[in-house]
Amino acid sequence: METPDQPLTMNQSIFLSQLRNEMNSKIYFYGSIVRGDYIPSLSDIDVLYFADDTKTDCEKMLRFMKKNKKHENVRVKSKRFLYHSSTIKHIISGYKVKYEDMENAVPIEVTIYDKKYQDSILDEQQKKSNIPFWMAWMLIVLKVLAYKFKFIPKELFKKIKEKLFIYISGIPATFVILKQ
């Protein structure tokens, strides 16, 4: 999960290398970039980061991303969340940090978890990444219908995707975004 299955663009590689250097810790790819349903210009790049202090590292990452804004169309935002699954017996608090530079094709979403959950989260994401060929193709079709042609509402696409992952991985999970 440290190397994506899909090739990154030069801009994506540079940005992620700079992020790795700034944060002084490994980042792990997950989601469509390792599953096989990644579509340039429609998919973002999902990255996991594990921290000793999630709040401090979230703030550091936000400063880095804001400093790297090369033009006004770049959006940087963060959200705090709670997560629970059937394989992780605790309710975990973490952060999502999103960097969207569509002009340079760098849509990155970093999910920050406490380091003590690293093995459990990586194991869980690995199980969700091992999907059958037919499911990857179904996700591609649904993603194009939702994001490119807007035939399916984005929220419906997300719910369908969530149900598919519960079915395939057997890991029911709850993910709640907290108001900040």
Q: What is the pLDDT of residues 18-45, one digit of tens each?
A: 999 999 889 999 999 998 899 988 899 9
* Residue 46 Cα distances to 33, 34, 90, 111, angstroms: 7, 9, 23, 8
Residue 170: pLDDT band by 50, 70, 90 thresholds? confident
| Per-residue confidence (pLDDT) for residue 62, from 0 to 100 | 96
User: Closest Cα partner for 43 from 168, 174, 140?
Assistant: 140
The residue with tokens 């649904």 is 142
Q: Residue 1: is its pLDDT beyond 60?
A: no
The model's pTM is 0.92
The predicted structure's pLDDT at residue 61 = 97
Return the beta strands (E) in the chain as ranges: 27-30, 45-51, 75-85, 92-101, 106-114, 173-178
**129 and 34 Cβ atoms separated by less than 8 Å:** yes
The whole-number pLDDT of residue 12 equals: 93
Residue 167 has what pLDDT? 83
| pLDDT band, very low/low/confident/very high, at 70 (cuts 50, 70, 90) | confident
- State percent of the chain over pLDDT 70: 98
**What pLDDT score was predicted for residue 168?**
78
pLDDT at 2 over 70: no
* Sequence-distant (≥ 6) Cβ neighbours of residue 56 within 8 angstroms: none
State residue 180's pLDDT score: 61
Which class for 134: exposed (0-12), middle (13-18), buried (19 or more C-beta within 10 A)? exposed
pLDDT surpasses 90 at 76: yes
Average pLDDT, the chain: 91
Whether the pLDDT of residue 164 is over 90: the answer is no
Question: Which pLDDT score, from 0 to 100, does residue 39 have?
Answer: 92
Residues 45, 30: Cα–Cα separation, whole Å: 8
What is the SS3 assignment for 39?
coil
Are 82 and 33 contacting, i.e. CB atoms less than 8 angstroms apart? no
**Extended strands (E) in 20-144:** 27-30, 45-51, 75-85, 92-101, 106-114
Q: How many CB atoms lie within 10 A of CB 58?
A: 21
Check residues 104 and 45 and name the one with the higher pLDDT. 45
SS3 20: helix
